[in-house]
Amino acid sequence: MSADKTRQERRPSYATFMVLLWCLAAGIYFMGLDSYPLLDPDEGRYAEIPREMIETGDFITPHLNYVPYFEKPPLFYWCTAGAMMLFGQNEWTVRIVPALTGLLTVILITVFGNRLFGMDVGLMAGWVYLTSVVPLILARIPIIDGLFSLLLTAAWMTWWFGYRAPAGPSKNRWMMGAWALLGLAVLTKGPAAVALTGLIVFALVAARRDWRGLRSMCWIRGLFIFAVIVLPWHLAVGARNPEFFHFYFIVQHLGRMVQDEHSRPVWYFLAIFPLGMLFWTAFFFPAMLQGLGRAWRAVRPPWKPQKNPDQSERLPDSSCFAQDPGDYTGILFLIIWAGAVVGLFSLSRCKLVPYILPAYPAMALLTAAYLRNRPLSKAPRWCAGITAVFLLAAIPVISFYARTQEMLPVTELKWPITIAECALLSGSILLGLSVFKQTLIPFAVGLVMLFLIPSMLMIVPVTATYRKVGGLVKEMNLPLPEDIRVAEWHTFDQGLGFYTQRRTILVDNVGELAFGMALGHKDDYFLKGEERLKHLGREGPVLVNIRPEDWPKVREWGLFHLVAANSTNVMVGNDAFFRLAGLTPWPDRASISPPLLLQPRHGPRGKTGTE
């Protein structure tokens, strides 16, 4: 009785900490979203597609640079376009959707952890997820994977509640909710959602030999809900674009399994997954080992006697699993969840880090359960000690890299690197002290990431300014006069269309627009050869984005002069451009390497020189 009373007294404090964690997550995810230009190619792409939806009024066929773009379904584009219509077309509204999905994912993890293992584990799991590097970064980048991961997380958690619920209306509601969320996930990133969900569900049911779990999934009503969500857009876009189904299903989804683009070895995600937790990486391995051991107890091999499916093997009451003490099936579910995501995407030759984002909620819950359930173990102390040593070793490495790299000016990195070094040193000391007080270990590990966030927020704007095209365009008199055309030679920085709000003429570069161009959308916007670029320079006012290595050749033509430059982009314009834009060109012989950012100078047009 006293134990129950103590637990009830502790619950309000945990609830308060949970709300504080959500507020902290909101601050981290939303802070400074508008403090730096878009980072091409991904941010530019996923900003430009919704902008073109709003401009053209076509919310069925996604377009990139005004060419049909069928690589992904439209739900993320619709969400971003909605944010733009509410708050304007700027960096903050472009990034608000991933920030919101990151926050909602943290909330889901804490709630699910509370229901599965108890409020303390739920709180710790949210903390682990919030302070893991891959989820943190992807919550601030406008790409589809954040929304996809949120919807899959919600779908799998909802299915789990339905699977564990007794037969009745409540079970049916959970299952139909899972079907609806699965439909939204498909509308975000396509058939991969069905493949992952099917693998997880069938693996768990097969491991438990609980075939009633399949029969109770409300198949008829669920499939109807799924179809109502998924089919309308697919049928509408297919009716407008007969080529859609072949490209979308065969080329884009099945083709990615074997294509060479972004090709990585089969073990790539096995290495990246634990590293994506960064300071929690050392805890990943014992957490997985403990999880595998506990999950095995929930497996029902063929030789094991069949039990009533409503009965669960249970641990002693002293276990940390508060809601359903000792339910090994929950651990098995999380192991299958993480393994299915990493395993399925490992089979594909095309591998990008954001693909495995849906595995991190399960890993955060497994790590939190491990830390909470091993109060007397020496393993967490060893993990904390190893991490402390790693932090100390990283300090000279970061300092050396900052001094020797040539991408960014060293002077711009002075304060971010100093803050990072102080954060690593403080974190190492804190972790070293936590070895003697094990309950402080989770707090100390997460705090290291919080210490590093100011440094990250300072470095990203510097990188965006010195290595991305958006910062250069923003320095001009925007909006550009309508008569000025925009072109790119040997490159395609997709944020250029977002900032100039017009179609870009691509010269000697097609890239991912090849399929859309082949549909007959060539017009005068896909050109080949230097002579076509020279012709553009003679026709009328034009702003051209080129690579630094092409500038010496372009300079010799005498048609274009420097507008602005950084280490990855050189913006040039012809005489008509400078007259219309009211900008003054830089001397054509001005140095653009090492990375010296050349800001456009406003005022009356001056004489171009060869200084």
Co-location of 408 and 534 in the same domain: no
For residue 597, pLDDT beyond 70: no
Whether 143 and 292 share a structural domain: yes
How do residues 200-246 score in pLDDT, each as one tens digit? 999 999 999 999 889 999 999 999 999 999 999 999 999 999 999 88
Average confidence (pLDDT) over 267-279: 95
**pLDDT-based confidence at residue 311 (cuts at 50, 70, 90):** very low
Whether the pLDDT of residue 535 is over 80: the answer is yes
- Within this chain, do residues 437 and 530 fall inside the same structural domain, yes or no? no
Count CA within 13 A, CB hemisphere, residue 585: 27
Distance from chain centroid for Cα 344: 18
Q: Are residues 266 and 412 in the same domain?
A: no
Spatial separation of the C-alpha atoms in residues 172 and 215, rounded to whole Å: 12
What is the residue-averaged pLDDT of the chain?
Answer: 88
Q: Please state, in angstroms and rounded to a whole number, the distance separating the CA atoms of residues 37 and 149.
A: 25
Please give the distance of CA 324 from its chain centroid, rounded to a whole number: 33
Q: How many CB atoms lie within 10 A of CB 250?
A: 10
How does pLDDT run across 389-406, given as a tens digit for each residue? 999 999 999 999 988 887
Based on the number of CB atoms within 10 Å of its own CB, is 530 exposed (0-12), middle (13-18) or buried (19 or more)? middle
Same domain, 595 and 484: yes
Does residue 260 surpass a pLDDT of 70?
no
As a whole number of angstroms, the distance between CA 170 and CA 16 comes to 29
In a domain, 349, yes or no: yes
CA-wise closest residue to 587 among 604, 608, 607, 601: 608
Domain-embedded: residue 50: no
Is the pLDDT score of 373 beyond 80? no
Q: Are 163 and 287 in a shared domain?
A: yes
Residue 39 in domain: no
Would 608 be classed as within a structural domain? no
Which tokens sit at 163?
Answer: 């699977």
Q: How confident is the model at residue 303 (pLDDT cuts 50, 70, 90)?
A: low
Identify which has the larger pLDDT, 124 or 516: 124
Q: What are phi and psi of 586, to 5 degrees?
A: -80, 160
Q: Reading across the β-sheet that carries 504-507, which strands appear in turn?
A: 526-527, 504-507, 485-489, 542-546, 570-573, 561-565
pLDDT category, 320, cuts 50, 70, 90? Answer: very low
Any domain includes 382: no
Instruction: Between 588 and 485, name the one with better pLDDT.
Output: 485
On whether both 171 and 144 belong to a single domain, the answer is yes
Residue at a domain's end among 445, 467, 489: 467
* Domain end among 449, 467, 485: 467
d(Cα 365, Cα 126) in Å, to the nearest integer?
A: 8
Closest-CA residue to 362 (of 327, 345, 337, 332) = 337
- Position 598 scores a pLDDT of 59
Least-confidence region, from 79-93, 115-129, 517-531: 517-531
Residue 529 identity: G
pLDDT for 438: 85
Does residue 46 form part of some domain?
no
Percent share of the chain, pLDDT over 70: 88
The pLDDT of residue 258 is 63
Helix intervals (H) in 435-583:
441-467, 469-474, 495-500, 514-518, 530-539, 551-557, 575-581
Could you tell me which residue, 593 or 31, shows the higher pLDDT?
31
Query: Using N-to-C axis directions, what is the helix angle for 91-117 and 119-130, rounded to 10°?
Result: 150
Q: Is the pLDDT of residue 262 over 80?
A: no
- At residue 150, the pLDDT reads 98
Count of structural domains, the chain: 3
Residue given tokens 């910062």 in the structure block: 471
Residue 298 half-sphere exposure toward CB, CA atoms < 13 A: 29
pLDDT at residue 196, as a whole number: 97
- Is 135 within a domain? yes
Look up residue 137 and give its amino acid.
Answer: I
Work out the average pLDDT over 146-151. 98
Instruction: Indicate whether 527 belongs to any domain.
Output: yes
pLDDT score for 475 = 80
Query: What is the DSSP code string of 300-329?
Result: --TTSPP--TT------TTSS--SSTT-HH
User: Pick the residue with more confidence: 476 or 4?
Assistant: 476
Q: What is the mean pLDDT of residues 179-208?
A: 96
Could you give the C-alpha distances from 118 to 110, 297, 315, 326, in angstroms and in order?
A: 10, 20, 14, 12
Q: Which domain range does residue 104 map to?
A: 2-30+70-303+320-373
Please state, in angstroms and rounded to a whole number, the distance separating the CA atoms of residues 407 and 196: 39
Tell me: do 264 and 187 sit in the same domain. Answer: yes
For residues 50 and 44, is the Cβ–Cβ distance under 8 A?
no
CA atoms within a 13 Å half-sphere pointing along the CA-CB vector of 244: 19
The pLDDT of residue 595: 56
Judgement on whether residues 234 and 285 belong to the same structural domain of the protein:
yes
Nearest alpha carbon to residue 365 among 161, 109, 153: 109
pLDDT digits (tens, 9 = 90+) for 437-473: 888 999 999 999 999 999 999 999 988 888 889 988 8
What is the pLDDT at residue 325? Answer: 37
**Looking at residue 428, what is its pLDDT?**
96
Strand blocks (E) in 307-449: none
Q: Model pTM?
A: 0.91
Distance of alpha carbon 9 from alpha carbon 300, whole angstroms: 38
Q: Say yes or no: 237 and 297 in one domain.
A: yes
Indicate whether 361 and 411 sit together in one domain: no
Give, in order, the Cα–Cα distances in Å from 163 to each of 160, 173, 311, 361: 5, 11, 13, 19
Task: Single out the residue in 467, 482, 503 at which a domain terminates.
Answer: 467
Residues 361, 419 share a domain:
no
Question: Tell me: the pLDDT tens digits for 322-359?
Answer: 344 347 999 999 999 999 999 999 998 889 999 999 99
Q: Which residue has the higher pLDDT, 515 or 591?
A: 515
Using 50, 70 and 90 to split pLDDT, how confident is the model at 609? very low
The reported pLDDT for the residue numbered 256 is 67
Name residues whose C-beta falls within 8 Å of residue 378's C-beta, 6 or more positions apart in sequence: none
Q: Residue 249: pLDDT band by 50, 70, 90 thresholds?
A: confident
